[in-house]
Amino acid sequence: MSLPAWLHPGFTLTDPAGTATAAELIDAATRLADEVPLWCRAGLPATDARAILQALLATEARQADLFLIRDATTGARIDHRIEGDRVFEVADDVPPGAGLVWLQTSGSTGRPKWVAHQPETLRARIAAGQPGARWLLSYGAGSFAGLQVMLSAAIGGHHLIAATAPTIGDLAGLAVRHAVTHISGTPTFWRAFLMALGDTDLSLTTVTLGGEAADQGLLDALRAKFPTARLRHLYATTELGTVFSVADDRAGFPAAWLHAAPGNLRLTVTDHGTLGVARGDEAYFDTGDRVTVAGDRVLFRGRHDDMVNIGGVKIWPEEVEAHLLQLPFVRDALVGVRPSPITGSILVADLVLRDAESEAACAPLVKAHLERLPRAARPAMIRYRTALPTGQTGKKLRMP
Amino acid sequence: MIDLVIAELQRVLAAKDAAPAAIGADTVLLDGDLPIDSLDLATLVVALEEETGREPFKAGFRMFKTVGELAALFEAAAS
């Protein structure tokens, strides 16, 4: 069985099971590929970087689809399941695979969607990077951003340090113990990481932020902690991927880019105050991200639609509201958004109970009902009220 | 202020069904001693903003590490 050739022979992976060389990973992936039927649709629980890298190699060799399962409740149509170094048949009535990698995206009501990627596309934007780099995996191993970090290290021949379901304290400890040099994470990750690291010394050479807008306070704190690092924040959209990166230590991007953006990129502020993006002669794509020009800078101001980014997770407050209104004793619900210094934004909810219902009796039921949502979608605070604030039109005021 | 931060932090722990912890001004929030993460910390900050009417992070992120440092940020913020 010949495996695809993208795994660099100098790559090493350290995880809770120990350290593996590229040769050891290739051996394991070759054995796995012998078990994976041609053109099957294989599922793998997406918790472990080592298992994912091996399964990527094995399924690509067998032109099989690979489903990286983060939420087991979703209906992935798979016919085989990978567990450790074994492959089990779980169904025989699904259509054949085509060598795609399927990733789960999370929504605010916890019903994830599957999105297919060509393996070549996942690897397309990865640059060779610096020799000797040591990466810490801050993202979930089965997420798009997590795969980008894993593939960067694997293709570049670097050292990847990964843990399974780590806390932020675990990640700070691993970074220090392994003298990590490269970390990519959301602003929410970085705020927590700085707090967990405290005064402990860590010398990073590359600090990358993505998935949410970076504020100036965070960029200043990162620069103070990592004075010599290459610090950049990325702007990306679901539809376009990474659009540009900003490396001047300032929030937002230079207003001059509205007239002359890097490369063949064109940027504009649309009539309704959102950022429009085009490449070359294409028509502008409306990103839905609101921007304002402040002096020589363009700053991000949240969304034109109702979407909220909470720690890098996209949440629609109206869906959370609808979820709360499913409870028979809730008469009305209003879910608002507050800025958070930790997660960018956070939800807060106002609830009105039906007559004769008591807060003491209902609160535990509300809590249990909210636990069915992804954590980022659960309001941080619930206020029980006798009526909701309404605007002049009688429409609920979507404000905290 | 420090007592309020400790009380709200205990409420965050209780809401997670975590055991009450010994918390003081020097307790580090996110280094792994307490079973909390970024979302729990965001919840704590919202509760403190609501209780005090103060918003020390209005202009963006500010570095803090311990319970005492968080209390000092709220103490110094104008109400």
Rounded to an integer, what distance in angstroms lies between the CA atom of residue A80 and that of residue B18?
Answer: 38
Identify the band that residue A400 occupies on the pLDDT scale cut at 50, 70 and 90.
very low
Interchain CB distance below 8 Å, B62 and A348:
no
Mean pLDDT within A256-273? 95
CATH number for region A1-250: 3.40.50.12780
Q: Which residues of A touch B47 (CB under 8 A)?
A: 380-381
Which three-class secondary structure state does DSSP give residue A239?
coil
Whether CATH 1.10.1200.10 fits B2-76:
yes
Q: Which of A218, A222, A233, A340 to mutate to test the interface with B (most CBs of B within 10 A)?
A: A340
Rounded to an integer, what distance in angstroms lies between the CA atom of residue A298 and that of residue A246?
Answer: 12
Whether CATH 3.30.300.30 fits A307-385:
yes
One-letter amino acid at A50 equals: R
Q: Which residue has the higher pLDDT, A295 or A106?
A: A295
Instruction: Count CB neighbours of A85 within 10 A.
Output: 13
Q: Which residues of B touch A338 (CB under 8 A)?
A: 46, 49
Q: Which residues of B touch A310 (CB under 8 A)?
A: 39
Interchain CB distance below 8 Å, A341 and B43:
no
Q: How far is B57 from chain A (nearest CA, A)?
A: 6
Interchain CB distance below 8 Å, A221 and B41:
no
Q: How far is A218 from chain B (nearest CA, A)?
A: 5
What is the 3-class SS of chain B, one letter each residue? Answer: CHHHHHHHHHHHHHHCCCCCCCCCCCCECCCCCCCCCHHHHHHHHHHHHHHHCCCCCCCCCCCCCEHHHHHHHHHHCCC
- Stated as kind and residue range, the H or E segment containing A195 is helix A187-197
Query: What's the ipTM?
Result: 0.93
pLDDT of A55-102, one tens digit each?
A: 999 999 999 999 999 877 667 889 999 998 899 999 988 999 999 999
Mean pLDDT within A353-375? 92
Interchain CB distance below 8 Å, A380 and B64:
no
Instruction: Give residue A398's pLDDT.
Output: 58
- Spacing of C-alpha A159 from chain mean position: 22
Mean pLDDT within A189-196? 96
Q: Is B46 within 8 Å of A346 (Cβ atoms)?
A: yes
Domain extent listing, chain A = 1-250, 252-303, 307-385
Task: Please give the backbone phi and psi of residue A381, each rounded to the nearest 5 degrees, phi first.
Answer: -145, 140
**How would DSSP label each residue in A43-86?**
EEETT-HHHHHHHHHHHHHTT-EEEEES-TTS----SEEEETTE
Rounded to an integer, what distance in angstroms lies between the CA atom of residue A394 and that of residue A11?
Answer: 61
Q: Which residues of A touch B28 (CB under 8 A)?
A: 195-196, 198
